[in-house]
Structure 1
């Protein structure tokens, strides 16, 4: 009966909330053909707090779920029958003797063999044994039953995640709920979810975590919170995940009672040594510290005319006796730079601040470098700092939670972007110098290095807020362990583990995901101009005007005739010259600069011809329409998977794909209209500002509604919307439908503000077509905006509505709170037509 139930389980799409991620251990087809499974699990020399013991439990759970077989657990040797043997190399040698692959193992590495009577999972250390166990279960969970025997070592020693959690329980740039580390200024008592997260991280080979925001709060260093850090470390330790914390540089003064935080002051040095000793007494295996200094208003050593190395080394001295690592962020820049100076450039800041400090950092310091020179944009070249620091250990900082790329409300699979950066050859000393080989320490013979991923998981069951966004966390871990892997292959593994083996599901999610980054780049910002979001507010919706005219340095220098940053050494900011000569020469020359980075390195006329033959401005128009069109296809592609994926995850993903489809049109229209207005150059296809299927709300007959000039103007069709005449009142907008009789998809674009949940009713000839609420702040998991703008602009669509020409269209909006039931326009779309 048990085997029958196991087989039946393969045919059901049971409800899932996403909390199991890729560790579902779901039954796999063909499991009955796997005949070589041992009958027991032997854990070698493991205490209950050891990753080896956790590995044995994980193996038991996984095998039962995947293959439907209960294996017994044993400690010590078991030579009488075939077993899954899991343990360290030293323990295996003591119990069974030497094995040939032992000398190949490096720190955290493992040997996996399924070829003999026993399955061997042997780690260089306990953590490596756990990684090997997860790898074995991953193979089983994907139905990969063929015998294998290989050693797998991590590419780099540092494989960390950064969690921007605040002490009040919020998460900066977090889109998946509240923190499960902090609440009300204190570390939480219940650390169960921290342990669950450690399990997920361990399955990826992640060995370290920074639990608090880089904009750190010094109160984390209180005695009570240090004990709380210990609780988190205790919960994560069995999974081999070492806890670290981010520090506020001014803590000796703001928290410790000193009159200074000068890193060369002996009292300050002693204060950090003392507090570090206290932390390590509670957390003996703490990973180390992360420091953001002298950036975006944060305190740092420059306050006292000390160098960044002086600051980093102060922490390094304190951490060194405990074998702690100091990750010092290279994200150092002045956010009040003067745009009127043609030579000024935020992209130059990292090299300018760090180039003269190369070799002056202590050996346990790692400079953590954002992958590009600005800030996690949709496309940037690799930071030139990677090839500048030859005598300093470095790590690449990637953003798993896409702050500038849709905030997990848009599907954007990021592994192709990361792969492009990691494989980029910086040509230092005119030798092969791929970024992946620099951060591993191999290229410049450094002892440390690796990856730091900004993840920002929260209390949402999906961990990241969007089921499909978990592919980014999975891919980050895979590439941190082995950057030679291909993004599409990583994706396929994740799909099998997360959604099963249906070929249609596989093909659909691969197609959507691999198209998602190019699509987002197309409808947000292309040709290297950056993500044209609102950099002064939420970093979510379109607002290209905010890029210029401020001190933040994410400039596009767009005027009526031209656009782009001149970063050449000859005429511009000199950023191109920060690269090694071979790369500098490529970027300096407009003819050899790739078009996808043209506006990053060159300031050109809108009519400048690209290698495609199109002008810059026409490419802008075409790309934005093409990108938005691609986003529309994700909805029917996903809808075709109904019944093949459990209802909960199917419906939750569908909601976000529908949102993305609508918001991509907001992006398309806003950017196209902005540059159409800026340049005065028409779209040769006559699409911009020519929306034949729309009825503008401000042109309808209004009762209780009034017109409202939306700012920025380009985030509303016709630059106007309607809002109710007062708070908590009712407005009505009516008009006669001018379109031919037929069946349409009727779409309403409106604005969904934080601080209110308006009610809407759409009717034709007093027949209700649909009702809805302005409650996206609940459904999206984060709050985009309190204004009518590109962040709050959204769309709802009612399908297959029969319409007669001359019918009366009516919208009734009931305002709530600060949200005045705002409406932009209504579209009547024939089937197959994109607005």
Structure 2
């Protein structure tokens, strides 16, 4: 079985550049021919399914790809120069001691390329595999200099979370269907899972939770437990331990008990029995991930028990097997009253957990989202990190861009994470960086680490986008060593993924490093949160959705002011959850950094920032600046034509062009919303003023009718047009009033799910552009069936010659529920963006 998996893996590796190989391409390196290479590989493995065996196979494959040489593999010392890979114990048994052995920690490795022999020695088998991948990463990047060093992990727990459902869908997943489940059961063919485990091992991830935190209890049936064993067998050779999420109410809903009270002896026994059963099939299972009493999920609070009572019940069940419980701190009431000025979802983590510090068993790790709300474009670090002193913790990040463009927008997240990891929370007035808290170093806790929500799917790009894979790579490298710089990590990834061309390096580095700041600017800045639609898809703009509901992601925007008052003096008290040094900074509007002003303070739109601008003018300017930056991405990428294979070049170009249009949707929607709310005009007179546009509803309509769009600000002029029939085509037409010349024609329309309308645009009956509303086949973002900020999109036809007085006509043919909706047409002089 395992040999079949390995053969399938390495067959995949010779396929086209479709993204499936990610950063493990092992492409030829031009200067490799001049590098002296040992003539063989010695893998000091004890079995054919061990990580050391895999390391030997990986070295053989990588060396062949990079150097074009086929090296033999043996498991014994031949007494000649070789690439030697194995554990400390195996190496000592064969070669004798080496002084660096005492420096190695669990999962760590020693790499030496000095002399005639390459030595790759792991503290354990997993460490040996990590060392092999490190060596291959170096040579794949043309780094042939002699090195000798020890590398140890920053923290013992380096996991990924996959929010896969048993029916094969993935919550907040944008890369296709699940690689783990289908039709209610674990998939039969686990080759794809093994491929993923290989990718994870190459970035030193040692654990994976394979199912949604909103867990389905039927995962615990006999057929699925047998399936878990198959998955664990496939991933074990790569050192990746399997874990699962549990539904707290399973003893009742699945097991037939009358209760799921964690202090009930029968419930305790039920969990112990099912846990023993799972460990019989998966003896090295990593443990459980628990989401309890959050967003309607069951938990111990149902029975007036504490969260520690619930966590410890599971901890006792896995303790005999060496398992770990990751207990999510994402606990909050999603029905809190907006009318209460003191209510604040951001307080929930500390409120729920502060009195439980020290009451969790020693194999429980509290998994804390990096900010107090929910993966927003900017949040302060969660104060819970500096609150829990006696409890092991882990930081939860998100590779899957749930609120950040859902892999349809390029947003490189390394810089965001770096800010959080390096943030000094000053607990007890002492250095207390977030990275040193969750590692266990700051408060001397035995466990700790990081988890990232990734949500890979069956798409060949894994995440639905080639460039989004930089985030998965960066997560793994930064989980191992958070001291690395995000741009350095990014450039390693670029070399491994796209090669050595200097311009390729410069362009991808430039657009990636600009992407998070640009996204923040054209979505939600000054700490106001991302301003996406939180009630529906978490994708397009909808600032009104933040307020007047029980979800607690509030901005408290009104006609005069905006922002959450989180001060102790007048507000929710959230600032006071931080250590005194940090609290005093956030308490004062003058000392709060501008990029978090609206997170901690409710201020008038006319409040002056440190830049001298008012809040509202900063909003207007930032949204224009951010959207303008995004317009440069596709142009920069287009300059790489011929330097990147056609398949990946076209795939990325399509998404960057789409992103450039959607950034304008964001810009206009947010600016229009706050202009209408505040009645304060943009000093530059841009908001609501679009001289290049012709509104569809102002054209001559035939078989079309105007409709109001909700939310109103996601349509230019608040109105779009749709066909009057779901079967018959319609048209919009107008005489062109612009001066004769060459223009780029941009059409804003709406691309709904469950419909593929067709469009044809002509000038004086000369067709200048055709397209189909089929983004549901090309993009992986959450679906929408409405005219809104999620479906609003833009297509541009460049270099179109027109004469004043010509007739512009667009014919739209509806399909399904998509009634060929149109918003406007822009006539832009080349180089202009309306």
Match of 1:100 in 2: 99
2-side partners of 1:232 and 1:192: how far apart?
Answer: 9
Q: Once the 2 structures are TM-superposed, how far is the Cα of residue 451 of structure 1 from its aligned partner? A: 0.3
> Which residue matches 1:359?
358
Partner of 1:8: none
How much does 1:167 deviate? 0.4
Which residue does 2:113 correspond to in 1? 114
Equivalent position of 1:767 in the other structure:
766
Structure 1 CA distance for aligned equivalents of residues 568 and 41 of structure 2:
63
- Please report how far the alpha carbon of residue 176 of structure 1 lies from its aligned counterpart in structure 2 after TM superposition: 0.4
Deviation of 1:548 after TM superposition, in Å, equals 0.2
The question of whether the paired residues in 1 share the 8 Å contact of 2:776 and 2:783 is answered with: yes
The answer to whether the 8 A contact 1:187-1:228 is kept is yes
Query: 1:565-588, CA deviations, whole angstroms, 9 ceiling, x for partnerless residues?
Result: 000011100000000000001101
- Decide whether the 8 Å contact of 2:407 with 2:781 is kept in 1: no
Query: Which residue is 2:671 aligned to?
Result: 672
Distance (whole Å) between structure 1 residues aligned to residue 814 and residue 478 of structure 2: 48
- 1:665-700 C-alpha deviation (Å, 9 max, x unpaired): 000000000000000000000000000000000000
Matches of 1:408 and 1:180, distance apart in 2: 18
CA distance in 1, matches of 2:609, 2:730: 49
Distance 2:730 2:784 in 1: 22
How far apart are the structure 2 equivalents of 1:478 and 1:15? Answer: 26
**1:46 Cα offset (Å):** 2.9
Contact 2:539 2:781 in 1 (8 A): no
Rounded Cα–Cα distance in structure 2 between residues aligned with 1:555 and 1:784 = 24
Could you tell me which residue of structure 2 aligns to residue 611 of structure 1? 610
**CA offsets, 1:436-459, max 9 Å, x none?**
000100000000000000000000
Where structure 2 has 5 or more consecutive residues not aligned to the other structure, the ranges are 1-13
1:427, 1:583 within 8 Å by CA — same for their partners in 2? yes
**In the TM superposition, what are the counterparts of 1:53-92 in structure 2 within 5 Å?**
53-79=53-79, 81-92=80-91
1:445 corresponds to which residue? 444
Contact 2:693-2:827 within 8 A present in 1 as well: yes
Report if the CA contact (8 A) 1:423-1:436 is conserved.
Answer: yes
TM-score w.r.t. length of structure 1: 0.98
Partner of 1:47 in structure 2? 47
Is contact 1:595–1:610 with CA below 8 Å preserved after alignment?
Answer: yes
Contact 1:540 1:784 in 2 (8 A): no
C-alpha separation in 1, matches of 2:15 and 2:260 = 56
Work out whether 1:142 is the aligned partner of 2:141: yes
- How far does residue 752 in structure 1 lie from its aligned partner after superposition? 0.3
Following TM superposition, where does structure 1 have runs of at least 4 consecutive aligned residues deviating by more than 2 angstroms? 781-784
Closer/same/farther in 2, CA of residues 215 and 672 from structure 1, 3 Å limit? same
Question: What CA distance in whole angstroms lies between the structure 2 residues aligned with 1:195 and 1:135?
Answer: 19
Whether 2:549 is the aligned partner of 1:550: answer yes
Structure 2 match to 1:626: 625
Q: Which residue of 2 aligns with 1:24?
A: 25
- Give 1:462's aligned residue: 461
Counterpart contact for 2:541–2:789, Cα < 8 Å? yes
Aligned-pair distance for 1:728?
Answer: 2.0
Instruction: Give the equivalent residue in structure 2 for 1:800.
Output: 799
**Which residue does the alignment assign to 2:10?**
none
> How far apart in 2 are the matches of 1:436 and 1:194?
30
Q: Deviations over 1:89-139 (max 9, x none)?
A: 000001000001000000000000000221000000000000000000000
Give CA-to-partner distance per residue, 1:551-609, whole Å, 9 cap, x none.
00000000000000000011100000000000001101111100000000000000000
SS in 1 for 2:467: helix
Report if aligned partners of 1:63, 1:69 keep a CA contact under 8 Å in 2. yes
Give the 3-state SS of the residue equivalent to 1:587 in structure 2. Answer: helix
Report what 1:383 is aligned to.
382
Q: Equivalent residue for 2:722?
A: 723
Please give the alpha-carbon distance, in whole angstroms, between the structure 1 residues aligned to 2:77 and 2:192. 34
Question: In structure 2, how many angstroms separate the alpha carbons of the residues matched to 1:797 and 1:784?
Answer: 23
Query: Do the aligned partners of 1:409 and 1:780 also contact (CA within 8 Å) in 2?
Result: yes
The one-character-per-residue Cα deviations of 1:701-734 (angstroms, maximum 9, x if unpaired) are 0000000000110000000000000212211100
Q: 1:249, CA displacement in angstroms? A: 0.1
User: 2:397 is matched with which residue?
Assistant: 398
CA contact (8 A) 1:754 1:783 kept: no
Give the secondary structure class of the aligned counterpart of 2:555: coil
Q: CA deviation at 1:305?
A: 0.1
Query: Partners in 2 of 1:784 and 1:279 — Cα distance?
Result: 36
* Offset, 1:653: 0.2
Contact 1:410 1:657 in 2 (8 A): yes
Between the aligned partners of 2:774 and 2:106, the Cα distance in structure 1 is 49
Task: Give per-residue Cα distances to partners, 1:329-360, cap 9 Å, x unaligned.
Answer: 00000000001111000000000000000000
Output the CA distance in 2 between the equivalents of 1:635 and 1:740.
Answer: 28
What's the counterpart of residue 741 of structure 1? 740
Deviation track 1:462-506 (CA, whole Å, cap 9, x = no partner) reads 000010000000000000000000000000000000000000000
Match of 1:534 in 2: 533
* SS class of match (1:607): coil
Helix, strand or coil for the counterpart of 2:768? strand
CA distance in 2, matches of 1:116, 1:32: 18
Cα separation, 2, equivalents of 1:495 and 1:665: 28
Give the Cα separation in 2 of the matches to 1:737 and 1:531.
38
SS in 1 for 2:685: coil
Report deviation, 1:783: 4.3
The answer to whether the 8 Å contact 1:45/1:76 transfers is no
Q: How far 1:785 sits from its partner (Å)? A: 0.8
- Mapped partners of 2:783, 2:35: distance in 1: 50
Asked if structure 2 preserves the Cα contact closer than 8 Å seen for 1:166 and 1:172, the reply is: yes
Separation in structure 2 between the aligned mates of residue 98 and residue 231 of structure 1, nearest angstrom: 38
Structure 2 residue matching 1:489: 3-state secondary structure: helix
Alignment correspondent of 2:348: 349
Does 2:367 match 1:368? yes
**2:35 alignment partner in structure 1:** 34
Residue in structure 2 matched with residue 5 of structure 1 by the alignment:
none
Structure 1 counterpart of 2:429: 430
C-alpha separation in 1, matches of 2:362 and 2:339: 40
CA distance in 1 between partners of 2:413 and 2:532 (Å) = 18
Q: What is the root-mean-square deviation in Å for CA atoms of aligned residues?
A: 0.8
For the residue of structure 2 that corresponds to 1:86, the secondary structure is strand
* Cα drift, residue 77 of structure 1: 1.4
Q: Is the 8 A contact 2:406 2:780 kept in 1?
A: no
Question: Match of 2:804, SS?
Answer: coil
1:405-804 paired onto structure 2 within 5 Å: 405-804=404-803
SS in structure 2 at match of 1:801 = strand
**1:286-301 counterparts in 2 under 5 A?**
286-301=285-300
What residue is the counterpart of 2:4 in the other structure?
Answer: none
1:784 deviation in Å? 2.9
Residue 214 (structure 1) aligned with residue 216 (structure 2): no
Give yes or no for contact 2:537–2:782 (8 Å, CA) kept in 1. no
CA distance in 2, matches of 1:310, 1:783: 36
Partner SS state of residue 468, structure 2:
helix
Conserved? CA contact 1:15–1:646, under 8 Å: no
Q: In structure 1, the residue corresponding to 2:30 is in which secondary structure?
A: coil
Deviation at 1:14, TM superposition (A): 9.7
What is the match of residue 283 of structure 2? 284
Structure 1 position 33, deviation (Å): 1.8
| Alpha-carbon distance in structure 2 between the residues aligned to 1:280 and 1:72 | 37
Equivalent position SS for 1:631: helix
Determine the structure 2 residue equivalent to 1:4. Answer: none
SS at match of 2:245: strand
Is the contact made by 1:14 and 1:646 (CA closer than 8 Å) also made in structure 2? Answer: no
SS at match of 2:798: strand
Q: Give the equivalent residue in structure 1 for 2:8.
A: none
Corresponding residue of 2:6: none
Indicate if the aligned counterparts of 2:408 and 2:781 stay in contact, CA closer than 8 A.
no
Offset at 1:15?
4.6
The alpha carbon displacement at 1:45 in A equals: 3.2
Distance in 1 separating the partners of 2:290 and 2:484: 31
